[in-house]
Each structure stands twice: as C-alpha cells, then as structure tokens.
Copies of this chain bind each other. A is one copy, B any other.
Amino acid sequence: MGKNTYKDEDEYRRRRERNNEAVKKSRVKSKLRSQATHERVQQLQMENTKLEEKIGFLASEVEFLKDMLCANHSGKTLFFRPYFIISSFH
C-alpha cells in the first residue's frame, strides 16, 4: 500500500526530477529545431528570389546578344564594338 516498485520515495523523486529536466531539455531542443526550420524557409525564399532575378538578367542578356548577332547578320552595322557590348554586361 505505501509502496511502489521503487526502493523508496526518495529514489522515485530523484528519478522523476531527472526526467522532468530531460523533458524540458528535449522540448527546448525541439523548439529550436522548429525555429531553425522556419528560418530556413525564409532563407530559401530569399535565395530563390535572387536566383529568379539573375535568370531575368541573363535572359535579357541573351536576348540582347541575339539581337546583336541578327543585326550583324542582316548586314547592318553594329553600333558598339562587340567587346564593349560584352564588357558592359560584366
């Protein structure tokens, strides 16, 4: 009646106390992980936006260069020297 499977009540309390600490620790850890994941999402979204911008820029550059090639091919004079055109995009 006055007993559990534990040797004594002090033993029980010691175990409980240690487990309570472990639980707290584990939950802090979990919370931090969750937080990190949210930050990861933010970071990836920003990265993504940058990449989209870069793609837009490169696509324009390609269009521009194609125009230069076409203009040249159709016999028109290029307004800039190619080297200048290219370096202006670096």
A55 to B50, alpha carbons, bound, how many Å?
11
Q: Which residues in window 14-60 of A have CB below 8 A to B?
A: 34, 37-38, 40-41, 44-45, 47-48, 51-52, 54-55, 58-59
- Category for how many chain A residues contact B: 20 to 34
Identical chains bound together, number: 2
Residues on A close to B: CB < 8 A?
34, 37-38, 40-41, 44-45, 47-48, 51-52, 54-55, 58-59, 61-62, 65-66, 68-70, 72-73, 78, 81-83, 85-86, 89
State whether A86 touches B66 (Cβ < 8 A): yes
A77 to B72, alpha carbons, bound, how many Å?
12
Given contacts A66-B86, A68-B69, A69-B69, 7 further A-B contacts (CB under 8 A): A41-B41, A44-B48, A51-B55, A58-B59, A61-B62, A62-B65, A69-B72
